[in-house]
Structure 1
Amino acid sequence: MEGSIAKHLLNSFLILLAITSFINSSSADTRFYYPVPPKSVSTEFIKTSCSSTTYPRLCYTSLAGQAGLIQTSPKLLAHAALNVTLATAKSTSAVMLKLSKGSGMNPREVEAMQDCLEELSDSVDEIRRSIGEMDQIKASNFELMMSDIQTWVSAALTDETTCSDGFEGNTVNGKMVRSRIVNIAHMTSNALSLINSYASVHA
């Protein structure tokens, strides 16, 4: 009789232990997975946010690959837009520097290229400073930081537009450089739009 009771208690204990283990496991899974939105939600957030920019298709294609990082954060979206723009500007600047040292460019193109490289260098610095400020944003300094970022990104866009204006001719090099600069200017314009949207959320 005692053996039967002991066996019954042991079975009950094992069942209780299994249930407890399952509950703890389920809770752990909930804590681990649920805070991160599905990629489809993040992608839709990017698409919706980009629809308010001047160049929505470019905005979406340049940022969709970072959906997992951006999630549904306006700040991370604006930050990613700045980073993508900076990377594109730096790679274009490297291409232009290589072209400027090559042959086959007429004197006017060489002069325009040198001026453009200076403008693009300023643009890169302004975008980099904006990214640095974005990393330092807090509730106490939000308005001041956002004002600086908006000013610098606007200045970068002006520099890029000035640069592209120097290549209005029909030469092969001129068309190639201008198309690259115009692309950067469009990305900068989109980044500024997303920054303004982020600023308005906290207005």
Structure 2
Amino acid sequence: MAASLSAAAFLSAVVVISLLASTSTASSSRLLSAAAATTNTEFIRTSCSATTYPKLCYSSLAVHASKIQTSARLLVSTALDVTLSSAKSTSAAMVKLSRTHGISPREAAAMRDCAEELADSVDQISRSIDEMAGSKGGGGDFVMMISNVQTWVSAALTDESTCDDGFDGKEMAGVMKAVVRGKVETVAHLTSNALALINAYAALRH
């Protein structure tokens, strides 16, 4: 009888120890995950502090922290992906707005021109993304890759600035002008931030 109780007590102790160990492991995993997440977001925050629009940079990239981690290359690639998505949606919005009933011919023309400029911007950013993805990442390959990316992203920013300049005249005013310029400026700011991150990445590798 005593031996039976002793065995039962032993089994109970084993179960309790196993549960405690499992709980401790789960807690440790959660703590490590939380620490990694903090490290990742701080890396993004620090990197974004060197851009022209740090708040926008951080808010647009922090949601991708688990993907970026602390990789400068992934930070740049993600910034370009985010910028491309914004440029595509804004270009499509310009085409749609140009067909809005009641706007003036000059307003419609300005938005169509803007859509074309943004389409060029989309092309330049897409080429940059492809270039980074296809690069072997070493020596002369890196130098050529980063030079191409800097050139294309700079060209995209110029296209976006040209688009924005198209709304400077008196032919477009009021709410429509504010909405349109707000969309275009967001794309331009994202592109500017991406370019700053690219330049910082280039400096790291030199």
TM-score (norm: length of structure 1):
0.81
2:176 equivalent among 135, 153, 173: 173
Partners of 1:110 and 1:101 in 2: how far apart?
A: 7
Superimposed CA distance per residue, residues 149-188 of structure 1 (whole angstroms, 9 cap, x where no aligned partner): 0000000000000001111242322221111001100000
Runs of 4+ that moved beyond 4 A: none
Q: Which residue of 2 aligns with 1:146?
A: 146
Quick one: which of 182, 185, 190 aligns to 1:187? Answer: 190
Show structure 1 runs of 5+ residues with no match: 1-25
> What amino acid maps onto 1:180 in structure 2?
K
Give the aligned partner of residue 5 of structure 1. Answer: none
Unaligned 5+ segments in structure 2 are: 1-24
- The residue aligned with 2:134 is 136
Query: Where in structure 2 are the equivalents of 1:12-31 lying within 5 Å?
Result: none
Distance of 1:152 and 1:103 partners within structure 2: 36
User: Which of 22, 36, 48 is the aligned partner of 1:50?
Assistant: 48
Taking the TM superposition and a 5 Å limit, the aligned residue runs for 1:27-176 are 38-137=36-135, 138-140=137-139, 141-168=141-168, 169-176=172-179
CA distance in structure 2 between the partners assigned to 1:91 and 1:119 by the alignment: 13
SS at match of 1:38: helix
Shift of 1:107: 1.3
Q: Bigger CA drift: 131-140 or 148-157?
A: 131-140
* Structure 1 Cα separation of the partners of residues 144 and 175 of structure 2: 44
RMSD: 2.2
Structure 2 Cα separation of the partners of residues 173 and 107 of structure 1:
14
Counterparts of 2:100 and 2:110, CA distance in 1: 14
Q: Deviations over 1:101-128 (max 9, x none)?
A: 2212111111111111110000000000
**DSSP 3-state at the match of 1:90:** helix
Higher mean alpha-carbon deviation, 173-182 vs 69-78, is at 173-182
Match of residue 8 from structure 1? none
Identity of aligned residues (%): 56
- Per the TM alignment, residue 94 of structure 1 is displaced from its structure 2 partner at its CA by 1.4
Alpha-carbon distance, 1:92 to partner: 1.1
Asked if 1 retains the 8 angstrom alpha-carbon contact of 2:91 and 2:114, the reply is no
Contact 1:109 1:174 in 2 (8 A): no
For 2:117 and 2:89, locate their aligned partners in 1 and report how far apart those are by CA, in whole Å: 15
Alpha-carbon separation, structure 2, partners of 1:104 and 1:80 = 39
Q: 8 Å contact 2:98–2:109 — kept in the other structure?
A: no
Q: Which amino acid aligns with 1:68?
A: S
Distance 2:114 2:51 in 1: 26
